[in-house]
Amino acid sequence: MVADGGSLSADTPSRAARGEAVTLPQAGSEGVAARVPRSIPEASVARLAVYLRMLGELAEQGADTVSSEELAAATGVNSAKLRKDLSYIGSYGIRGVGYSVSALVHQLERALGLNHRQAVALIGVGNLGHALAGYGGFGGRGFPVTALFDVDPDLVGIHINGILVEHVRAIGDTCRERGITIGMIATPGPAAQGICDMLVEAGVRCILNFAPVVLQVPDEVEVRKVDLAVELQILAFHVARKRLVAESPETEASLAVPATDVDVVPPPDAQTNGHPVNSTLNGGMR
């Protein structure tokens, strides 16, 4: 995940990984159509989306079937893990053969809820927002960006990709009208919580947050965060780690964290390196 990223990725660990999250109370009657497992682990859901993309590519290349081994290699996971992930959505493989690409695509789309179209609203049409709005990839895959909002008078009123940019004060009405189910927040950090509140108030229950703040939301709202600065910091950690390994040929200073203060950059606070160089940390988006 590191993804997370979680954060603009990757792996971004979601606070909703508690019990309640993906788990559903299991069926009532019993016996009959006990077709589907009770729940899908959060970690698996993230990977299912990746498999789906790769399957799309394979289909394009004319593949009829894939083995778990092949698909696993292409997506960089262990094949047993892949099979287990797929088993959560049902048994759609053929033993001795593999998976039918088209059938699996269909099942994954169903499992991920992609057979309902999701209308997406994007708030904050600055630098990053523009890039997101012009993305194209969304609409093609069932995520049409259906509404755009900003506060900047220079932006409100213009069209991007044929979509009118409205003032954020219209969020409530517009989202309800157009049945928005997902909100993407690409505003500067300080504005994000307010926008988030408006979205929640308008009934939006899933939010993708690009602003560098942790949003506070009611339990029933799902937030995923994409945070560039965090991603880079995670990589920086790995750079430092690799450096350490390289420098200590064997044992010696083999610590996970260098207790030494290397201080290429002046430590506590100095001229421009303290931290808030501009308070626009990485929310400098837009």
Query: Residue positions in the annotated binding site?
Result: 124-129
Select 65 or 280, whichever has its Cβ closest to DNA.
Answer: 65
Given a second copy, DNA, none, residue 203, with its beta carbon under 5 to 8 Å by kind, binds: none
161 binds DNA (CB under 7 A): no
Given a second copy, DNA, none, residue 267, with its beta carbon under 5 to 8 Å by kind, binds: a second copy
285 binds a second copy (CB under 8 A): yes
Q: Which stretch binds a second copy (CB under 8 A): 53-61, 62-70, 91-99, 150-158?
A: 53-61
Question: Which member of 83, 167, 178, 205 binds a second copy (CB under 8 A)?
Answer: 205
Q: Kindly identify the residues of this chain, within the stretch 6-45, that bind DNA according to CB under 7 A.
A: 13, 17-19, 41-44
- Which residues are documented as binding site for NAD(+)? 124-129
Given DNA, a second copy, none, residue 98, with its beta carbon under 5 to 8 Å by kind, binds: DNA
Q: How many CB atoms lie within 10 A of CB 114?
A: 17
Per DSSP, the residues of 14-39 read -GGGSSTTTB-PPPSS-STT--S-SB
Answer for the pair 167, 262: CB distance below 8 angstroms, yes or no: no
Q: How many CB atoms lie within 10 A of CB 169?
A: 12
Taking residues 58 to 87 in sequence order and writing x for each that binds DNA by CB under 7 A, - otherwise, the string is --------xxxx-------xxxxx-xx-xx
263 burial via Cβ count (<10 Å: 0-12, 13-18, 19+)? exposed
Give least dist CB 241 to DNA, A: 15
Q: Which long-range contacts (CB under 8 A, 24 or more apart) does 155-162 make?
A: 155/125, 160/125, 160/130, 160/133, 160/134, 161/133, 161/134
Answer for the pair 97, 65: CB distance below 8 angstroms, yes or no: yes
Q: Letter for the amino acid at 120?
A: V
106 binds DNA (CB under 7 A): no
